[in-house]
Amino acid sequence: MNDLFNVPVFGVSITLAAYFFAINLRKKWNYVLLNPVLISVAVIIIFLLIFNIDFETYNIGGKYISFFLGPSVVALGVFFYEKYEEVKENLKVFLVAVFTGGIFGIISIIGFLILMNIPEVLIRSLAAKSVTTPIAIEISKLVAGTPEITAGMVIAVGIFGNAFGPYILKKLGISNKLAIGAALGTAAHGIGTARAFEEGKLPGVYSGLAMCINGIITALVTPYLLQLFLGNFT
Amino acid sequence: MLKGLLYIFGFLIAGELLTRLFNLPVAGNIIGMLLIFIALKLKIIKLKDVKPASDQLIKYLVVFFIPYGVGLMVYFKLIAEYWIPLSLGLVFSSILSLYISGIILQKFGK
C-alpha cells in the first residue's frame, strides 16, 4: 500500500484534486481566506499528516507540477507585452511608483527582521516576499533562502494584500483606482492583482504590470541588498 | 498551442543558457521573460503564436506553486517559533510598499 505513495502520479493527483476541491469551495463561498492555494496547501498537508506521508514522498509527483513555474515566468513576459500599451500615458510615473514601492518593500523587511534578530535563513527567504511566487522562489534559491518558506510567506502576503490592501490604502488617503491597482500589484503580486480586477479592468491591468515589473526589479536587486545587509552567503 | 509552448521553452532554455554562460545573478526564467518580451517588441515572434500557450500557463499559475506551499510543512517548527516578528514584519513592510507605490501614482499620475 505504502509504495502507492511513491509513484509520481500520487503527488500529481492529490494536488489536482485538492485544487479542484478548493476552487469549488471558493465558488460556493467567496470569502478571502478561502484562497484556493491556501486551501489546497492546507488540504494536502492534512492528508499527508493523517496518512503519515512525508513531504519528499509527496514531492516525487509534486515536482512535476512545480516544474511548470519556469515556463510560467516566461509567459508573464508575454502578458507584459500584451498589456503594457495600456499604461503608456502613465508609464514613467508608473515605473517610478513600482520601483520605489518595491525597493522600500525589500529594504524594510530585511531591516525589520535584522532588528528582530531573526535567523539569517528566514531573512534570505523573506526578502522577496512581495513578488509573484515563481519569481520569489527563484530569488530565494539564488540567495540561499528556503524556497518552501518563501512560497508560504509570499502567499500569506498576497492574501493580506487581497483582503486588506484596498481598505488600508483608502484609510491612508489613496482613492485613485489606478494607484490602488499599482500598489496591489507591487506589494501583493498575483493574489493582490485578483483583488485589483475587482476594482476594475484597468486597475487590474496596472496591478498585473506592477507585479511583473516588481518581479524583475526584485530579482535584480535582492541579491545585492542582501549582500549589503548580511554579507556574503556561504 | 504546441508552437507557443515550443517558443516559451525555447526562451526558457536561452535564459538558462545566458545565466550560466555569463554567471548572471538572476534566474534563467527571468532572463527568458525579458528575452521573450524583447522578441515580441522587435516583432521577431508573433503574439498570436505564443498567446495560446502563455494564457494557459498563466491561468494555472497558482496550481504550479502548490507543491512549494506544501513544502512549508517541513519548516513548521521554525515558522511557529518566530511567527510573531515574521507576521509583524510582513504586515509592516507590505503596508509601506502599498502606500509608497500608491501615493506616487496618485500624486503624479494622470
Q: Where are the domains of chain B?
A: 1-64, 66-110
Cell, residue A116: 528582530
B72 pLDDT higher than 60 = yes
pLDDT, one tens digit per residue, over A13-70 is: 999 999 999 999 989 988 878 888 889 999 999 999 999 999 999 999 999 999 998 9
Residue of A nearest to B64 (CA): A66
A233 pLDDT higher than 80 = no
B62 pLDDT higher than 90 = no
Q: Looking at this predicted complex, what is its ipTM? A: 0.91
Say yes or no: A3 contacts chain B, CB-CB below 8 A. Answer: no
Q: How far is B22 from chain A (nearest CA, A)?
A: 15
Check residue B25 and give its pLDDT. 83
A99 pLDDT higher than 60 = yes
Check residue B1 and give its pLDDT. 86
Check residue A2 and give its pLDDT. 65
Residue A203 identity: P
Check residue A1 and give its pLDDT. 60
**Are B29 and A134 within 8 A, CB to CB?**
yes
- Report, as an integer, the average pLDDT of A69-78: 92
pLDDT, one tens digit per residue, over A156-194 is: 999 999 989 999 999 999 999 999 999 999 999 988 998
Q: Choose between A3 and A54: higher pLDDT.
A: A54
B2-22 vs B47-59: helix crossing angle, rounded to 10: 80
Check residue B88 and give its pLDDT. 97
Hunting for cell 538558462 — which residue is that?
Answer: B16
A127 pLDDT band (50/70/90 cuts)? Answer: very high
Q: CA of B48: how far to CAs of A21, B1, B4, B29, B41, in Å?
A: 33, 10, 9, 21, 13
Residues of B in contact with A166 (CB under 8 A): none
Q: Choose between A96 and A35: higher pLDDT.
A: A96
Say yes or no: A220 contacts chain B, CB-CB below 8 A. Answer: yes
**Are A155 and B69 within 8 A, CB to CB?**
yes
Rounded distance between C-alpha atoms, residue A66 and residue B61, angstroms: 9
Interfacial A residues in 54-93 facing B (CB < 8 Å): 55, 58-59, 62-63, 65-82, 89-90, 93
Q: How many CB atoms lie within 10 A of CB A95?
A: 15
Q: What is the mean pLDDT of chain B?
A: 94
Whole-angstrom Cα Rg for chain A: 19
Query: Which of A130, A133, A219 is nearest residue B97 as measured by Cβ atoms?
Result: A130
Residue pair B38/B58 in contact (Cβ under 8 Å)? The answer is no
Say yes or no: B25 contacts chain A, CB-CB below 8 A. Answer: yes
At A192 the three-state DSSP class reads helix
Mutate to test the interface with B, among A40, A52, A74 (most CBs of B within 10 A): A74
Cell, residue A106: 525589500
